[in-house]
Structure formats: structure tokens, C-alpha cells
Amino acid sequence: MKATIDRSDCTSCGTCWETCPTFFEENPDDHLSQVIEKFRLNGNCAEGSVPDELEACVTDAADLCPVSIITVE
């Protein structure tokens, strides 16, 4: 499974990194959500490969994002 964050519309609410802190984190510079480095695809902080054991929490984070900008496929 792959997760993508449309960071340009992130409101920094913190829901995703509170719901799934093993996969999402707050970027210390722009304060927007990003994928933790070890899961990134092509070094892009807005895209990550989701390991099987994190599928449930990444999906929960996507469902709970108030602006629905996390896509899982």
C-alpha cells in the first residue's frame, strides 16, 4: 500500500501523526505533515510505502484527516 499526503493543503492539525506516529510526523521547518524518512518513496516526504503492520493506522489517519488530503492506494 502507498500513502500520499497533499501537503499544500495540510492544516498542521496533528491528527495523522497523533493517530499513526510510526508513519507520519510534523516537519520541523514548515510544520506540515510528512512521511517518516524510512518509509519514503524516492526521497519524497509526501509519499510513503506502507508496511503491512501499519496499514490499519495509516488508513485510520487518512480517514480522520479533517481535510481529506491523505490518499491510500
Q: How far is the CB of 34 from ligand SF4 (least distance, A)?
A: 9
Cβ–Cβ under 8 Å, residues 36 and 63: no
Exposure string of 25-52, with b = 16+ CB inside 10 Å and e = fewer, is: bbeeeeebbbbeeebeeeeebbbbebee
Q: How far is the CB of 6 from ligand SF4 (least distance, A)?
A: 8
Residue with cell 496533528: 14
**Is residue 14 a contact point for ligand SF4 (CB under 6 A)?**
yes
Residue of 15, 20, 23, 50 interacting with ligand SF4 (CB under 6 A): 15
Positions touching ligand SF4 (CB under 6 A) are: 5, 10-16, 33, 65-67, 69-70
